[in-house]
Amino acid sequence: MNISVLGCGRWGTFLAWYADQMGHRSLLWGREGSGNYDNLEKNRKNEYLEIPDTIGLTHSLTEAVSFGDIIIISISAQELRSFAKQLKSVPKAREKIYILCMKGLEAVSGKRLSQVFQEELEPSIAVAVWVGPGHVQDFVKGIPNCMVISSEDIEVTKTVIHAFTGDLIRFYYGQDMIGNEIGAATKNVIGIAAGMLDGLQYSSLKGALMARGAREISRLVKTMGGNNITVYGLSHLGDYEATLFSPYSHNRKFGEDYVQNQKFNKLAEGVATLEALQQLSKQYNVELPISNALYQVLFHKQDVSKTLLDLFLRPLKYEFE
């Protein structure tokens, strides 16, 4: 198949490389002036991997959309709405299958990324999400993992899984878009909390964080109309190892650097997701204690040590309350 990847950051470049490894024809798109793109064009590599000459590079969105049978989007979650508006004017854009390979929620509205994309492009557009654990640094070493493809259209799910399942990544069928999208986005929030605990030398509390975090998000997913059990699958709980413990996790590292007053220069999607969760908590009248505590720390500058300790050492509650 022809696979176009829109976005040439760490994950987007890997996806183009992976599609090529799977035997597909791969084209990688990047914006004019993108440092990531300019580096790939000049050196055919980034800090994670080297791309073969069989992978094409382009600045032309029209060329990328025209080329792809399947189009993968891997950009910042907060840029998706404006990017989808750009795609509206591209010929044949509505005829393609899209895979959203980002984990986030729209900060200002709390909407899932598939909702944002379909609102701007077309409600009937064929769209799937690709979520679950895995880091580029591990994949390029040949270390396998399991991930999830989810779509409202089972035929789209089947097409995508058939195209990308191999020895490196085994895919599972995701049957709950709400649970998979909310779960994938919010695991980054739990990752920030884990990093803060690491930075404060409270890593022993990460067990409580994992138990309480999954429970908190499962309540939200159920209230939103999804299946609360989905949270205990690969999109959320199954991604905890890669997000709460891995040195490669941007969100965990952001939390650790924050409490140690060190600058973090990479994207931590969990920060914007915290804003989105404030919207969802109000909209669905669901208490989100961990998310709210982190929001108070990051957006209202509350003392991080006191806030987190108060969160986990508050008066006795039943375990599953």
Domain ranges in the chain are 2-174, 186-312
* Overall average pLDDT of the 81-92 stretch: 96
Domain pair 2-174 / 186-312, same fold: no
Q: What phi and psi values does residue 27 have, to the nearest 5 degrees?
A: -130, 130
For residue 50, the Cα-to-chain-centroid distance in whole angstroms is 23
Q: How far lies 123's CA from each of 80, 115, 150, 186, in Å?
A: 15, 8, 16, 24
- The answer to whether residue 317 scores a pLDDT higher than 90 is no
186-312: CATH, from 3.30.310.50, 1.10.1040.10, 3.40.50.2300, 1.10.3720.10: 1.10.1040.10
> For residue 143, what is the DSSP state?
-
Q: What is the pLDDT of residues 238-275, one digit of tens each?
A: 999 999 999 999 999 999 999 999 999 888 999 999 99
Residue 71 belongs to what H/E stretch? strand 70-73
**Cα–Cα distance, 124 to 136 (Å, whole number):** 32
Q: H-helix or E-strand containing 73? A: strand 70-73
pTM of the model: 0.95
At 312, the pLDDT band (50, 70, 90 cuts) reads confident
* pLDDT tops 70 at residue 319: no
> What is the model's pLDDT at position 315?
61
The predicted-structure confidence for 19-52, as pLDDT tens digits, reads as follows 999 999 999 999 999 999 999 999 999 999 999 9
Active site residues: 187
Q: What is the mean pLDDT of the chain?
A: 95
- 23 vs 18: CA distance, rounded Å: 9
Structure tokens at 13: 């470049």
Contacts of 115 (CB under 8 A, 6+ apart): none
> Residue 313's pLDDT is what?
80
Q: Is the pLDDT of residue 320 over 80?
A: no
Q: Say yes or no: domain 2-174 is CATH 3.40.50.720.
A: yes
pLDDT tens digits along 129-149: 999 999 999 999 999 999 999
**Spatial CB neighbours of 159, under 8 Å, sequence gap ≥ 6:** 70, 97
Question: What is the model's pLDDT at position 90?
Answer: 96
